[in-house]
Structure 1
């Protein structure tokens, strides 16, 4: 097979040297990468000059788009003043202090302290260690199990990957670790029973959760991790009343709630936090991605007073809180994050998302809900998904071996649209939050052309459902 890239090109050098995340590594040797060369606003260009609308904001994260001079200058200024320092053994610096203060002020529920890391995975791993540490401080050394949800995503480090509820993150990695358990995915489209309302389904989810806790032993279960909206699991929007049903169960058995706001935070759902959109009352909140517009890596773990008191007591007994990263609260990413939060306030990012998000959700449903390949259209604000199905009436997905989602992604690229296929051929949308209504229209036009081309391709392969 002749590779679709020239010898000594960037693509060829990539294939020779780079090991890619979330990639079929063997197939990549033949197909090569899509090399992105530059970006501006909601668009990026590859190294051949082809333009794309980035419907996923990279990885759910470039909320302000792919260029912002204020963020560049914030990084340059901090590089000149203090390009690096750490937070170990009580050291500090102004960017870390200021950013922590800004996050506490913006927290959806009262929080006490902020710990900084470099990615959502690291932040969730840190939260798990804090939960174990605090339970030891509280004299509950057996209360350590972590509940995740099927299809949930919390990262790929060993502990956060165990909390994640996706097969691809477990297979061949020997995950999940013991002590990580998973409860029902709250997808009403697939899991709701005939005649069952969304509210009834939510109550059943709560009942299933309580059964799991009782089976494991309430004295052994420490915390539950929840994304307000499941992102990488296919943009699963919680059914009506879901968090109102499960939170009393957690409180009944003194199980901490961790809100994973890595994707939903900073306006994505039409509120500053997804926690506010769905009425969560977390003990710990984790954020990353849009925190710095992802121009530089940084994440944060916010803990309430009770959790902090446990950490403080145990660290005093031991003599130190033996956890942290060389780059925790790095001054340059912290400075960029500070400027990012200022910009969100100045441009009223939440107000903008509410306006254009309503248009996006309406157009997404109007254009695609009745398409013969579409089973469900779902989302809120500027996050959404279109789930492709083989049988619309039966809600039956295509067999995974068909790789229908991957086929769509390639067709979308041909139309100048970068998208992402997730669980059950769910095609995600998470554009930069600064996207305009006209850009949304153009994005959906390109999506529609790719979807129609996919239908033609599937008919040619004689595998499409009868319309």
Structure 2
């Protein structure tokens, strides 16, 4: 089958495309393939749309990377950044120093966070937030004299970042292979995806019970005195938008509490309204010991992440820092004044424009359009929580058989969507959506109309034998 060229590279040697190929190693890309096709260069954006260097306009169905909640070119965020740059362009939080924006935002963030969380540490990315959580967990248990209680359990197909510690939490093979990961002390249990992994006839509640039992068995096998924490996303994002089955988080938390295992919730994708509540913890009834935030915290206009911890953890960490003379962890640009100013303004917009309520309202339209695809011959499952959703394509709906080669159909759908002015995220043969939270009902219909065209065109391309997408 011929591949679709998603953008015109006819001027490749003498354009910005050529410069990019000469000097840039891209994340999450096949470097050799990139040498052939070059990048899609995005030059501008406004609202839910971005524009490439040829003037083509796209609906950004992934909000960048699950993250541009308030749309592109939100003037209030731009003004907040400029004002802060003109006032104090940089300062740090090391050595008993800080600046007003950090003080104000920390207070406001703790006030809206789950009640159990009382202190916040600022970093620059979701990966740094996860790494910080790992270090705090170790520091905390050492402070309590529990020097063997260090193992952390996350899930297969989870995504928690790409630094050494965060990538060890991540449960995706390509984040481990040839990086010599995961590091020792990181364990993985089953993901929560009823459609793909439930046994025949197994209800969501029974499946959730089985997963919680599996987790508890793993804790007991390793020894509760060695297991420190369980880390999970409320909705598993980059692993395929896996919405947990009913009662899952209730039962997972109970298993953790029985063995004094901390519950760490990675809200990097779900936080700030994505699931139709301010935090995924609210959507799924989670009471975390640690919560991690990034992406939508500034609508991704500035790099920022936050690690919120319980008072019990803080007290142990504070006592230990006093004993040692310092809490020896931090980042030069953690809590950067410009990022904090943008985060403050973002939070004001979330509240003033009632963004979370808007998401809850339009999510029903989104769900209906996703569910309307279920009759398609190659659509096995659709799902969403608020404005994060997915379509899972299968070669055979009865057996749920995957395509051969894996990912071929998903890539084709992504290519055709881009040709129709829609940017989405193929994850193998699952296609993910996470549009800006400001998207309107009309724009959801436009997004899904373009996606439906892409699916139909990919289906016409797909071989009739139903077994190979090559």
Q: Partners of 2:467 and 2:324 in 1: how far apart?
A: 63
Q: 1:6: how far off?
A: 2.9
Q: 1:403: how far off?
A: 2.4
The alignment status of 1:389 with 2:394, answered yes or no, reads yes
The worse-fitting range, judged by mean Cα deviation, of 3-12 and 322-331 is 3-12
The alignment status of 1:274 with 2:286, answered yes or no, reads no
Cα distance, 1:15–1:64 mapped onto 2, change above 3 Å: same
The alignment status of 1:359 with 2:365, answered yes or no, reads yes
Q: 1:400: how far off?
A: 4.1
The alignment status of 1:238 with 2:240, answered yes or no, reads no
Q: Partners of 2:144 and 2:360 in 1: how far apart?
A: 42
Q: 1:112: how far off?
A: 1.6
Picking from 66, 80, 84, the partner of 1:74 is: 80
Q: Deviation string for 1:299-352 (max 9, x for gaps)?
A: 000001011011111111110000000001110000000000000000001110
Q: Could you list the runs of 4 or more consecutive aligned residues of structure 1 that deviate by over 6 angstroms after TM superposition?
A: none
Aligned to 1:327: 333
**Contact conserved, 1:391 with 1:465, CA < 8 A, in 2?**
no
Gaps of 5+ in 2: 1-7
Aligned to 1:189: 195
Q: Partners of 1:348 and 1:465 in 2: how far apart?
A: 46
Gaps of 5+ in 1: none
**Contact conserved, 2:158 with 2:236, CA < 8 A, in 1?**
yes
Q: Partners of 2:176 and 2:407 in 1: how far apart?
A: 22
Q: Partners of 2:159 and 2:366 in 1: how far apart?
A: 25
**Contact conserved, 2:416 with 2:458, CA < 8 A, in 1?**
yes
The alignment status of 1:437 with 2:432, answered yes or no, reads no
Q: 1:408: how far off?
A: 1.6
The alignment status of 1:23 with 2:45, answered yes or no, reads no
The worse-fitting range, judged by mean Cα deviation, of 161-170 and 396-405 is 396-405
**Contact conserved, 2:116 with 2:288, CA < 8 A, in 1?**
no
**Contact conserved, 2:124 with 2:334, CA < 8 A, in 1?**
yes
Q: Partners of 1:426 and 1:254 in 2: how far apart?
A: 36
Q: Partners of 2:315 and 2:116 in 1: how far apart?
A: 14
Q: 1:8: how far off?
A: 2.1
Q: Partners of 2:407 and 2:252 in 1: how far apart?
A: 36
Aligned to 1:453: 457
Q: Partners of 1:441 and 1:193 in 2: how far apart?
A: 35
Q: Partners of 1:401 and 1:341 in 2: how far apart?
A: 40
The alignment status of 1:128 with 2:120, answered yes or no, reads no
- TM-score, normalised by the number of residues in structure 2: 0.96
Picking from 135, 146, 154, the partner of 1:148 is: 154
Aligned to 2:423: 418
Q: Deviation string for 1:273-321 (max 9, x for gaps)?
A: 0000000010000000000010010000000101101111111111000
Q: Deviation string for 1:225-276 (max 9, x for gaps)?
A: 1100000010000001001111111001000011100000111101000000
**Contact conserved, 1:388 with 1:405, CA < 8 A, in 2?**
yes
Q: 1:111: how far off?
A: 1.4
Backbone CA RMSD of aligned residues? 1.4
Aligned to 1:92: 98
Alignment of 1:101-116 (within 5 A): 101-116=107-122
Count of aligned pairs between the two proteins? 462
Picking from 213, 220, 226, the partner of 1:220 is: 226
Q: 1:177: how far off?
A: 0.4
Q: Partners of 2:195 and 2:466 in 1: how far apart?
A: 23
Aligned to 1:312: 318
Partner SS, residue 128 of structure 2: helix
Q: Partners of 1:223 and 1:63 in 2: how far apart?
A: 30
Picking from 177, 194, 199, the partner of 2:205 is: 199
Q: 1:363: how far off?
A: 1.6
Q: Partners of 1:229 and 1:377 in 2: how far apart?
A: 14
**Contact conserved, 1:42 with 1:65, CA < 8 A, in 2?**
yes
Q: Deviation string for 1:51-79 (max 9, x for gaps)?
A: 11000000000000111111111011100
- TM-score, normalised by the number of residues in structure 1: 0.97
Q: 1:464: how far off?
A: 5.5
Partner SS, residue 237 of structure 2: coil
Aligned to 1:336: 342
